[in-house]
Structure 1
Amino acid sequence: MAIDVYKDWLGIPEGDRPPHHYDLLRLVKFEDDEEKIRAHYKKLNSHVRKYASGKYSNESQELLNELAKAMLCLTDPERKREYDESLGREFDEEESTGPLLVEKILVEQGHIDKAQANELVEFAEKRGLSVRDAAVQMRFVNAEVATQALARSQGVPYIDLEETIPDETILDQLPQQVAKRNTILPLFIDDDVLLVACADQPTHDLEDELRLRYQVPSRWVLATPRSISQGIAEYYAAAAQVDDRNQETKADSVDEPVKKSSSKPKPEKKTKPSKPSRGKPELSPEELKEKKQLAFIFCGWAFCGAILIDQFVLKNNVFPQTWPWNFMLATISVPFIAFYLWSGMWKK
């Protein structure tokens, strides 16, 4: 019986499968609080990971991917609006005020005050840093909070790579050195769009390269530079180990033929050659069998011939009415004939 992971693991009542993003993340429909969305995702992600090493490991990985895709959609302002509208939500027409600056977001969230925000901008300009990096260097906030503020400023989702496992088939299509050079980590394909974790806004050249490699457009999610570097090292190494195990499995299935064809043949033990009988070469099994058959025939004819000579020649002309001379030739000659055949024609 197939397991219903939505009901059994997440407690979602029977209904539409797969459920919409809000039901999947156990949220109130049209929830707008990004912190609450991420908190629910983190809790459910941790719960589903408990099944990752059991007999439902495949189902667990698929559900983890669904949870990640739902969270990324609902924390992306533009995609969330489109998704909510597809579920019937109506929005009031509002005048666009443009994206918020990172420092203003940090002030709004209570991490710094206005004076610190001005100091932050000045520090970033003097050192040629982004406001995000400057906030981390000045120790106003940690890298995670600063990157979340940058993601909100740019209108893209933020992702914690410790909670999201990339698709191995996606990693296989991008060399590790390319990922390192650009500080990116491809995650998976969602609705024919490649999701890629990056530390900064990617260049157009990089977007074109990924489009050529994956044959689909890319969508970017922000992550801390350190988490991307750690993810590249961890997940590419894990994918390489899986490939090695698959290759070993394939090699084991043809292990014996490979060994026979590729390994150097062992030298045969030297044996003392048998001395050919009567200077003749040794016979093959087929030739020996034929020799034996001929020996039986010759032996039979010799025995019959000796009896005929005894009865019709020797008995009447040489040894009449004398026993055992009636069978003298048969008695004496047949053993000699048999011995000759055994030691000559019949012998290997």
Structure 2
Amino acid sequence: MAIDVYKQWLGIPEELRPPTHYQLLRLIDFEDDPEKIRAHYKKLNGLVRQYATGDYMLESQDLLNELAKAMLCLTDKSRKRDYDESLGREFGDEKDRGSKPMLRILVAEGEIGKSQISEVEEFADRRGLTHRDAVVQMKLVTPQKAAEALAQELGRPFVDLESTLPDDNVLDQVPRKLVKTHSILPLFVDEDVILVAAMDEPDHELEDEFRLRFGKPMRAVIATPLQINQSIAKYYAPGARDEAIAAQFDSKSVGRGKKSGKSSGKVKAEKPKSEMTDDEKKQNFQLGLIFMCWAVVGSALIDQFLIKPYLFPRWSFFLGLIFIVPPIAFFLLYEKHFKK
């Protein structure tokens, strides 16, 4: 049986179809306070999540995504202005005064004192940290507050990934290697943009990659580093994503990026190679060195104390396995670990 989730869950009357972002989030038209927008979103998100595991699981997931898209649009200054103008709002000719640095934002919000700005800057310079990481490591503010202040400085919306459900179709189109390299999490398509959670402002190379991959520009939203890393581990765990789909999109992107030459036949996706993180490669390299050392030492011991006494007792010194076992061990390790 079909259910009107707008009416039964959110109390939106039938005549308001489709609801605007403001109606969806139960806000007054053209509400400009991002804190109030996020507060309404958080309340409605918790309400809809009650149905996430019942008979209306799919309807719940669709509505959760719709709520998230509305919140991210209305907390994004540039996108909100375009959206408000589409609803008939008129803006004056006031000039954009620009955004304040995140430390000044934290001072204005009463999170840190004005005298602490120089302390944070010195701490960040000494350790090579960003101001966001510095205030967190100094335990002056929470990771979420620091990320919210950075988002305000960059003019980006902040997203709480714990209450946001990414679109599997979007996740499948972005390979694990790209996600881990840039520390990002693709979220979903919102009309003409791809929303991507990031720790900081993305570079142009990443933006070009998403434009080629989806045919749409990406729009970064800011999340805490911990939540992004946890989400990558959750949604890109080994076997969780179909890397063959991402490989197909890689092939298509390469084809679109060529300036000359014609396509010959169908694009055939290559079988994806297993990809290791830098930490995994480092660990494999260290284990490989240890194994090689034991292969050399073990071969020498077997030569001197097992083979020589029984087969070549008159020889003062014997080396045989040492020229056979270590090269074989090196070949096997190279093929299994280092060649990937």
- C-alpha contact 2:158 2:221 (8 A) present in aligned 1: yes
What residue in structure 2 maps to residue 19 of structure 1?
A: 19
What residue in structure 2 maps to residue 325 of structure 1?
A: none
Q: Distance in 2 between matches of 1:80 and 1:95?
A: 16
SS in 2 for 1:83: helix
Q: Which amino acid aligns with 1:20?
A: T
Q: Distance in 1 between matches of 2:12 and 2:173?
A: 35
Q: Write out aligned runs for 1:278-289 (5 A).
A: none
What residue in structure 1 maps to residue 101 of structure 2?
A: 101
Range moving further from structure 2, 169-178 or 158-167: 169-178
Q: Write out aligned runs for 1:118-129 (5 A).
A: 118-129=118-129
What residue in structure 2 maps to residue 246 of structure 1?
A: none
Range moving further from structure 2, 148-157 or 78-87: 78-87
Q: Distance in 2 between matches of 1:241 and 1:133?
A: 30
What residue in structure 1 maps to residue 236 of structure 2?
A: 236
What residue in structure 2 maps to residue 156 of structure 1?
A: 156
Larger Rg: 1
- C-alpha contact 1:103 1:121 (8 A) present in aligned 2: no
Q: Which amino acid aligns with 2:143?
A: A
Give, in angstroms, the shift of residue 239 of structure 1: 7.9
TM-score (norm 1): 0.67
Q: Which amino acid aligns with 1:151?
A: A
Is 1:215 the counterpart of 2:215 in the alignment?
yes
What residue in structure 2 maps to residue 8 of structure 1?
A: 8
Pair 1:240–1:127, CA change in 2 (3 A): closer
What residue in structure 2 maps to residue 340 of structure 1?
A: none
What residue in structure 2 maps to residue 170 of structure 1?
A: 170
Q: Deviations over 1:40-98 (max 9, x none)?
A: 11111111111111221111111011000000001001111111122222223223322
- C-alpha contact 1:168 1:239 (8 A) present in aligned 2: no
Pair 1:241–1:133, CA change in 2 (3 A): closer
What residue in structure 1 maps to residue 273 of structure 2?
A: none
Q: Write out aligned runs for 1:1-348 (5 A).
A: 1-237=1-237, 240=240
Q: Distance in 2 between matches of 1:113 and 1:90?
A: 38
Q: Distance in 2 between matches of 1:176 and 1:141?
A: 31
SS in 1 for 2:161: coil
Q: Which amino acid aligns with 1:109?
A: E
Runs of at least 5 residues in structure 2 that lack an aligned partner in the other structure: 244-340
Give, in angstroms, the shift of residue 241 of structure 1: 8.2
- C-alpha contact 2:171 2:241 (8 A) present in aligned 1: no
- C-alpha contact 2:37 2:71 (8 A) present in aligned 1: yes
What residue in structure 2 maps to residue 330 of structure 1?
A: none
Q: Which amino acid aligns with 1:130?
A: T
Q: Distance in 2 between matches of 1:119 and 1:104?
A: 13
- C-alpha contact 2:45 2:64 (8 A) present in aligned 1: yes
Pair 1:215–1:241, CA change in 2 (3 A): closer
Q: Deviations over 1:215-266 (max 9, x none)?
A: 22111001011101111111234982899xxxxxxxxxxxxxxxxxxxxxxx
Q: Which amino acid aligns with 2:148?
A: Q
Q: Distance in 2 between matches of 1:68 and 1:239?
A: 27
- C-alpha contact 1:156 1:221 (8 A) present in aligned 2: yes
How many residues get paired?
Answer: 243
Q: Which amino acid aligns with 1:11?
A: G
Pair 1:104–1:71, CA change in 2 (3 A): same
State the identity %.
60
Q: Distance in 2 between matches of 1:117 and 1:149?
A: 14
Q: Distance in 1 between matches of 2:210 and 2:94?
A: 35
TM-score (norm 2): 0.68
